[in-house]
Amino acid sequence: MRSDHQHIEIAVATLRAGGVVAHPTEGVWGLACDPFAPAAVRRILTLKSRPAYKGLILICAELAQVLPLLEQVSDSDRARIEAPTDKPITWLIPARREVPELLRGRHATLAIRVTRHDQARELCERSGLPLVSTSANPSGRVPALTALRVRQYFGPAVDYVLPGRLGGYTGPSEIRSLAGGSVIRGGG
């Protein structure tokens, strides 16, 4: 039987090799990949039947992991993004022009969440990367709440399913605009 550490190491190796990993997050299971591996990002879009124009969420262990992708973030905005909250919040933050459309879709922003989920944070820390992390479900279907549902949805098309538990929230993260703080999608 593998230890938690061994499972994380397998997941990190899979991500670094350009693979797709299913993993628990704060409220639903996610599909993760290296955002700088276009083939892996396209694979996730194909698995989900998700149009690229919608963009994808990136998770990070700390905001510093994604700062090179973003327009300048003020100290007050940084404090708001990194502040502890009672639910997971994904922020829409202005992206640098060179950020691929594959990640941001047709938007001028990137969807960023500093994850509070221990395993998801560890994946980001150990891989040294922010990660694409989008809900594990085909477009239009209910997001997976269990590893079994991930396997039912995607079978062997996912390279590794990281054993673990959801973080105790219900459903996907809330999405807010950093400019003004308006709620785009309720959640968590």
Encoding tokens for residue 56?
A: 């994808």
Residue 141 has pLDDT above 80, yes or no: yes
Cβ–Cβ < 8 Å for 43, 159: no
Tell me the pLDDT tens digit for each residue of 34-59.
Answer: 999 999 999 999 999 999 999 999 99
3-state secondary structure of 6: helix
Query: Strand, helix or coil at 62?
Result: coil
- Give backbone dihedrals phi and psi of 121, rounded to 5 degrees, phi first: -65, -40
Domains for the chain: give ranges and CATH numbers: 4-185 (3.90.870.10)
Q: pLDDT tens for residues 71-95?
A: 999 999 999 999 988 889 999 999 9
pTM of the entire predicted model: 0.94
Calculate the CA 131 to chain-centre distance.
6
Phi and psi (nearest 5°) for 160? Answer: -155, 135
Residue type, 15: L
Residue 1 pLDDT grade (very low, low, confident, very high; cuts 50, 70, 90): low
